[in-house]
Structure 1
Amino acid sequence: MAESMNDVKHRIASTKSTRQITEAMQMVSTVKLNRIQAHTVNYNQYVSKVKSVIAHLAQSDLLEDNKPSSQDSKNAKKKTAYIVISSDRGMVGSYNSNVIRGTNEFIEKHTPNTDDYMILAIGGSGADFYKKRGANVAYENRTVSDVPTYTEVQGIVKTITSMYNDGIYTDLYICYNHFINRISSDFRAEKLLPMDKDSIQSSMDEKDSGQAGSDVKVKNLIEDYDIEPSAKAVLGVVIPQYAESLMYGAILDAKTAEHASSSTAMKSATDNADDLISSLELKYNRARQAAITTEITEITGGQEALNQ
């Protein structure tokens, strides 16, 4: 059944209202994206220095003496934890589906047995997804802001690292979407714990590739040097800072990708609304023209009938 003119007119008004919403959401996401990108520039200067110190420690094999006692037992069952960073809201395009799909593929490859891993969810979408599927969600956080501060992440890091120190899990990976540009992102899964030379080098290779001015090169560093007051004291300060920097950087990166995805999705929705409005207006004008033509024909026919 053909739509009436009133139906088409109502659809035009409804689509215009939706367009106003999507356009406003696009503007908000763009503002958030610009803010977090400016925030990330300042963070990169700090984390570069932390990486340099950790690279020295890794090259000198000091990190090998930093395993918690709960992890030293050869008989301890290996348990892997995956930090999954997702959004707390929808309307972010394929952002959540990409990170969840990438995480599932990574888990299937490394720990196919569901009893051997747990999920540490940062973001409601990931937490809800894995809870519905019966996964072991050992930790979740839904309070990370759109432009997260370092203080926010410190609380998350302390909770997650204390779980590691208590032997709740033996290996830790962080899974998130890496921001490439405003229209694309790439899934990443990086090992955080335990820290060893290979995992740190791998992390630096991934994060520093393509970054101009990066001066962290483990293989060219001096292996032996004196430490004051002691290696243990230095590790006690630097290791938590490195863990915080990696996690904070991943959250910043993921949030940047989230805002970019949201902005792109809302722009696409706005463009689709424009196309639909144009199509409906054309349909409405044609229907109105046909109605006018019909009225003129009826009037002309009636006039001719009177003249006969």
Structure 2
Amino acid sequence: MAGGREIKTKIKSTQNMRKVTRALEMVSASKIRKAQDLMKASRPYARQMRKVIAHIAQASTDFSHPFLIEREKVTRVAFVVVSTDRGLCGGLNSNLFRRLIPAIREWQGKGAEVDVLAIGQKAVQFFRRIRGINLIGSATHLGEKPKIEQLIGVIKVVLDAYSANKLDRVFLAYNDFVNTMTQKPSIEALLPLPLVAAELQATEGDNKSTPNYPVAGLKLEQAHDWDYIYEPDAATVLEYVLGRYIESVVYQGVLENLASEHAARMVAMKAASDNASKVIGELTLSYNKARQAAITQEISEIVGGAAAV
């Protein structure tokens, strides 16, 4: 059994650790409401943008925008990965990476090269260590109120590469905020747009059970032969609208991930504080036993000495 002084030192260090975890828990608890408000405020816009773009992808238009063309041969794939800048949020980032790596390996198994654009410091650090993946862009330290301007550079890299036929598929990976206790790693198609329409059709039934899901309630008509009326012309309107669509989806993913980060950190720090309290209780019991054993030994020595005299 460890000595009383050593146990007392462990108790003190564990108490200090519990102070830190409780402080982080309270900070995340105070920030999660603001993050949820930002996320919920942008969901209606992102939802309607998805609906409009999905309809455009199914329409019979005379103008063929590069984003509307689904290429049969896929030689290069890009993943826009949204992670956190800081740790201490449980398995939030690791669960996302664990979900993402098999998808990346699957494309590599098909002979496609994989590019990654990392949003968040943790994604940058992770993909720098992975061989066979090209990290072509990053955006970090977005803060508690991310701005769309901070993401323009990363988004433009993707749009320019796809327009120049350097990319054949683009996916967005982030943590979808379901509730405080549940954050779901998600991988969604960004480009080409026919894939987006197909995903919405496939998940339409699943979204009914999750009303807070970003695309919940979207009902798409089956492939139709009508088209929108564009003013001044289809090329000008689609070039602007499709760019805003990609920005809105990526920005929504960042907000969803931010709310997930605070929720995961709050839960993780609560568990850490509870575990620290449990360890302190066990160490206190061990300290009392050690102190009692030392006192008993001293009394025995005194009695033995007195008997010897």
Q: TM-score, normalised by structure 2?
A: 0.85
Cα deviation code 1:10-69 (max 9, x no counterpart): 110011011111111122222232221111111112223323432442342349711169
Matches within 5 A, 1:1-308: 2-62=1-61, 65-67=64-66, 78-112=75-109, 116-134=113-131, 135-196=133-194, 198-203=195-200, 206=203, 208-209=207-208, 210-211=210-211, 216-219=218-221, 223-304=226-307
Letter in 2 for 1:219: E
Structure 2 gaps of 5+ residues are none
Aligned residues: CA RMSD:
2.9
* Deviation of 1:102 (Å): 0.9
**Residues 59 and 218 in structure 1, CA contact (< 8 A), matched pair in contact too:** no
Count of residue correspondences = 302
Distance 1:30 1:218 in 2: 37
Moved more, 282-291 or 114-123: 114-123
TM (normalized to structure 1)?
0.86
- 1:279 to partner: Cα distance: 0.4
Unaligned runs of 5+ in 1: none
**2: CA distance, partners of 1:32 / 1:114:** 44
Contact conserved, 1:190 with 1:203, CA < 8 A, in 2? no
Counterparts of 1:270 and 1:166 in 2: how far apart (Å)? 52
TM superposition shift of 1:241: 1.6
3-state secondary structure, aligned to 2:45:
helix
The 3 A distance-change label for structure 1 pair 63 and 240 is: farther
- Is the partner of 2:151 in helix, strand or coil? helix
Identity percentage of aligned residues: 30
CA 1:251 to 1:48, structure 2 compared with 1: closer, same or farther past 3 Å?
same
Are 1:9 and 1:284, in contact at CA under 8 Å, matched by a contact in 2? yes
The 10-residue stretch of structure 1 (47-56 or 177-186) with the greater mean CA deviation from structure 2 = 47-56
Question: In 1, Cα distance between the equivalents of 2:34 and 2:253?
Answer: 16
- C-alpha separation between the residues in 2 aligned to 1:204 and 1:259? 31
Runs of 4+ residues deviating >6 angstroms: 71-74
